Amino acid sequence: MAKIGFIGTGIMGKPMAQNLQKAGHTLFFSEHFDKAPADLVGDNGIALANPKEVAQEAEFIIVMVPDTPQVEDVLFRTDGVAAGVGAGKVVIDMSSISPTATKAFAEKIKATGAAYLDAPVSGGEVGAKAATLSIMVGGCPNAFERALPLFQAMGKNITRVGGNGDGQTAKVANQIIVALNIQAVAEALLFAAKNGADPAKVREALMGGFAGSKILEVHGERMIKGTFDPGFRISLHQKDLNLALSGARELGLNLPNTANAQQVFSTCAALGGSGWDHSALIKGLEHMANFNIRGE
C-alpha cells in the first residue's frame, strides 16, 4: 500500500481521497489552506502543516485544486511540494488547468528528480463518489505504470494520452464536448416546452434514440426538475472553456460553438449562478427566451 499526499479535498477531491483510503492507502493532508476533513483523518489519514511536509512523507503527491494559480501555489510556494520532493517520488496533478502551464510545472518538478503526471478527471461528483472517473494522463510511461493502481482506485476509464500537458489537453477537449452537449440538451428541452410538449416526456422519448446520451439522462433530468446544486460549478466550466478559447487563439483556431456556450454560461453568472451546477446553463437560455420549462 502506498503513502499518498492528497492536497485539495473539495467536492471532487474528498470522495477521491476516500476511495484511496478504502483501497488501503495511507493519505497525508496539508492544512496550509483549510483543516483536513475530520472524517478523513485517523488510522490511514494524517494531517500535516503544509505541502512540503506532505511531499516529504509521501511517495505520491496528488493535487486536486480549482485552477492554474492554485496548482502553482501548492507546488512552488516556499513550503510547497517542490521543496519536499526528490528522486523516486511522483507528483500527480489531477486538477483541470492550462496545458501550457502544466508543461512548465512538469519541467520544474522533474528538475528536483521527481516524476510528474498531469491526470485531470471527468465524471463529476457522481463519478468521484462511485470511483468511475475517466482519467486522462500525460507523462512518462514508467510513472504512469507506478501510479496506475492509484488511478484504478478512483476511476474506470484510464488512458495515458501522451507526454506532459497532453492529459490537460484531453480534458479541455472533454469540456468542450460536455458544454456543447449540455447546451444542445437545454435548447432541445426549451424548444419542446415552448412548443407545448411535456419536456419530461420528450426527454424520455429521446433517451431511446440516437440523441440519447449521459448528459440527456443526468443533466436533462436536472433541467426538468430544477435541481442545480453543484456537481460541477458553472464557474469551473467557464474556467475550462477559457482554457479552450485561449488555446484556440494561440493555435489560430476558431471554436464558434465553444464561444457561444461560454456566453450562455456568462449569462448564468450575471444572474448570480456562478455556483450553480453546469446543467443550469438552461437558465441562461430561459432568461433570454423569457420562458421557463418548469413553469416557475
- List residues with catalytic annotation: 171
What cell was used for 252?
489560430
DSSP-assigned letters across all residues of 250-275: HHT---HHHHHHHHHHHHHHHTT-TT
Please state, in angstroms and rounded to a whole number, the distance separating the CA atoms of residues 77 and 169.
Answer: 25
Handedness of CA 82, 88, 89, 92 (dihedral sign): positive
Residue 93's nearest CA partner among 33, 153, 178, 8 is: 8
Beta strands 121-122 and 133-138: pairing type? antiparallel
Which residues lie below 8 Å from residue 122, measured CB to CB, with a gap of 6+?
133, 134, 136, 171, 174, 178
What cell was used for 209?
434514440
CA distances, 131 to each of 122, 128, 150 (Å): 11, 5, 11
Question: Could you tell me how far CA 143 lies from the centroid of its own chain?
Answer: 21
Beta strands 121-122 and 60-63: pairing type? unpaired
Please state, in angstroms and rounded to a whole number, the distance separating the CA atoms of residues 48 and 153.
Answer: 23
- Half-sphere exposure for 32 (CA within 13 Å, toward CB): 19
What cell was used for 270?
450575471
